[in-house]
Chains A and B, each alone.
Chain A
Amino acid sequence: MVTETKIHPLVEEYFRIDRMPHLACPGCGIGMVMKYTLMVIDELGIDPQKFTWVTGVGCSSRLPYAVWKGDCIDATHGRPLAMATGIKLARPELTVMVYTGDGDCLSIGGNHFIHACRRNVPITVVMFNNQIYGMTGGQVAPTTPLGYQTQTSPYGNIEEPFDGAKLAAAAGASYACRWTAFQPKRIATSLKKGLTSNGFSYIEVFSPCPTQFGRYALKLGDPVKLAMWTQQNTVDLKKAETMTSEELRSKIIVGEYIDVEKPSLVDRYAELFEKAKRS
């Protein structure tokens, strides 16, 4: 039996067809967000040749690497923000977007993350939080909720998780939010804000991982059940402010944590260049 494969027009327009189909597991949130990203890129009329897609290591990065028709720059584990800082400062006219994950961004790359926020490097960061190390087989992450079983927390995780959006806001990012992969309009709005803004934009997406997080931590390997679990455990930021930390344990808080205008690192360099020439 021959099955006809239909290619989505956005994929045809912006992705390398020879790299399709992508590597996402069934029910993974990364492919979903890649689609929202293409919709926004298309709507904004962004020129792919002036748009650099930077990645790190992990599912968040291996899936989109070398798929985009423009420049695809894949750093080592944890380093996409340092790499993106170099790219953006060297060629400020480029739009630079980073796809990273919770391990890449908050664990091995944590130091680069807080400093990229502090500098307000004008790049857009999409951080896929699946609360687990997916590509390496389901180990505990700095975002795994307390008590959850993973391959390296067989008796339950004993460490408190990081809140990446709060961290970004506290460290100086001009924009930080968190949504779940099942909120396409929210994600699209934030992506638009990020890609047209003049600051460090952190967009965290809770990305369902049926293969690792669902199966081991929640004992829910089924993508549909994991989607329902996600919906049931999502709490709006405003409501979360009225809840106790005990009530919020393992909940996914969604909303915008910060949205301010302030000079970016590129602006600061432009001022510095003028000052240096006068002295």
Chain B
Amino acid sequence: MMTAADVVKEGVYFVEGDEACAIGAIAAGCRFCSYYPITPVSEIAEAMAIMLPKLDGVAIQMEDEIGSMHAANGAIVAGLKAMTCTSGPGCSVHMDGYGWAIKNEIPVVIIDVQRAGPSNGVATLVGQGDFYQARYGPHGGNSEIIAIAPWNGQETFELIIEAFNLAQIYRCPVMFMMDEVIGHTREKLVVPPMKEIEAGLVDRIRDPGVPPEEYKSFGHLDTPEAISVPFPAAGDGYGLCLSPYTHNEMGYPSTTLKDQDRMARRLIQKVRANRDKLVKFESAFLDDATSVVVSYGCSARSSLTAVKNLRADGRKIGFFRLITLWPFMDKQIYELAEQADTIYVVECNLDGQLSREVQRASSGKAEVIHIGKAGVEMHTPYEVMDAIKQHLSGSSKG
């Protein structure tokens, strides 16, 4: 019998972000990974196919991403920690099973290594266009999800472990929003001893603490903010009832306003009411900043260099990186907007997705400037600096 420590070995590695993600997932306790080949995420699938069977874990290439999403859901229903990995085109195909997971409060981790779009776009090159899809992709509304985004290989390893923890705590799908640059960049990775990692892992509570005849699949509907809600597995003897239909507390289909309303409140409030606990970000040079660059993922790397260079020129500019993308950190962005005259949002799309959300959360307290790029290449720091300088000269605030 092999243990996780035999597969995830302590040490210093030089690996791609995709590999760091796979190693982190194994460390997090993931024992089922379903996928369909797609660039730039196949490296995760390939690494899982090597590592998982050593731990009696299942790596399965399904017939399409619809199948991989539902198979991952099924494995979780039967008690495992599971994930599926894909890129934007696969996420589009996932939506059916993603909605089912949201609806049934399935702690599934979905890895999206974003690439340039729309549609097939450029398979091998970067984009950051799935920000809204992660949140609003499935039809029907009435829900929240959690999405987090790493900006380097080491953080990919650490955050994928956190993604699995968050999924268990909030009984909620977690979107892990990488991008092609993060996935394919080879960087230093320090893997701590497995014992140390295991001490920080959160496991799902399988025992609901009531006799089987009293168990209700959604008995927590009237406590919408509750976290760490037990979730027995199929075969544990509790008679689970899970379905895509609006459910009452038993999991039985219901068409009443009362059940629709409390189900929707539960799916929203378990995340929204715990937003302050949930959101993570990183900032620098904010103390004297009159303007701030806001970004995430690979774009944040160019942004930080740009901010440092601008500060060297004497500009009072700060840096703010979102780690949690959803739920959106309205409060933190509003505070930034109160402090700064201008917020520059750097992201790898031209439609201004994060920019729009920052604008909403700013409530008009600051000017929000979208510094976008269509994808294929990430921003260079000079592009970010030029865009900021151009804006400053135009608005004569420099």
Contact = CB atoms under 8 A, between A and B. Distances in A.
Question: How many interface residues does chain B have, given as a range?
Answer: 35 or more
Nearest to A56: B244
Contacts of B99: 76
Nearest to B1: A277
A112 interface: yes
Interface stretch (A35-43, A192-200, A246-254, A268-276): A268-276
B72 A74 contact: no
B74 A277 contact: no
Contacts of B72: 86
A24 interface: no
B75 A87 contact: yes
Given A86-B71, A89-B60, A277-B2, A76 B79 contact: no
15 contacts: A72-B240, A79-B67, A79-B97, A82-B68, A82-B69, A82-B71, A85-B62, A86-B76, A89-B60, A89-B75, A90-B74, A91-B233, A111-B63, A272-B53, A277-B54
A85 B64 contact: no
Given A66-B251, A75-B70, A112-B67, A86 B77 contact: yes
Contacts of B2: 277
Given A66-B251, A82-B70, A89-B75, A72 B62 contact: no
Contacts of A19: 252
Contacts of B79: 90-91
Scoring A85, A86, A275 by chain B CB atoms within 10 A of each residue's CB, the highest score goes to A86
A84 B74 CA distance: 6
Interface in A136-177: none
B240 to A, nearest CB: 5
Nearest to A68: B239
Contacts of B64: 111
B14 interface: no
B34 A86 contact: yes
Given A52-B78, A75-B70, A112-B70, 20 more contacts: A48-B239, A49-B237, A50-B235, A65-B243, A66-B253, A73-B74, A76-B100, A76-B244, A79-B97, A83-B74, A85-B71, A86-B71, A86-B72, A86-B77, A86-B82, A90-B58, A90-B75, A90-B79, A273-B56, A277-B53
A207 B252 CA distance: 25
Interface in A62-103: 62, 65-66, 68-76, 78-79, 82-91, 93-94
B289 interface: no
B80 A66 contact: no
Contacts of A73: 74, 77, 234, 240, 242-243
Contacts of B34: 86
B62 A74 contact: no
Interface string B58-102: 101011101111111111111110100000000000001101100
Contact of B97 (A72, A76, A84, A94): A76
B250 interface: yes
Contacts of A94: 78, 234-235
Contacts of A186: none
B32 to A, nearest CB: 6
A24 to B, nearest CB: 15
Nearest to A276: B53
A259 B250 CA distance: 39
B241 interface: yes
Q: Is the interface of B mostly helix, strand, loop or mixed?
A: mixed
Interface string A99-130: 00000000000011011000000000000000
B370 to A, nearest CB: 36
A83 B66 contact: no
A71 B244 contact: no
A82 B36 CA distance: 13
A173 to B, nearest CB: 15
A81 B96 CA distance: 14
B242 A72 contact: yes
Contacts of A62: 253
Q: Which 3 A-B pairs have the closest CB atoms?
A: A86-B74, A74-B243, A276-B53
A82 B68 CA distance: 7
Scoring A88, A93, A273 by chain B CB atoms within 10 A of each residue's CB, the highest score goes to A273
A57 interface: yes
B132 interface: no
Nearest to B52: A276
Contact of A86 (B32, B235, B245): B32
B242 A74 contact: yes
B77 A83 contact: yes
A75 B71 CA distance: 10
Contacts of B252: 19, 66
Given A72-B242, A74-B244, A93-B235, A65 B78 contact: no
Scoring B68, B97, B235, B244 by chain A CB atoms within 10 A of each residue's CB, the highest score goes to B235
B67 A82 contact: yes
A90 B80 contact: yes
B244 A89 contact: no
B78 A87 contact: yes
A101 to B, nearest CB: 15
Contacts of A86: 32, 34, 70-78, 82
Interface in B226-260: 233-245, 250-253
A79 B63 contact: no
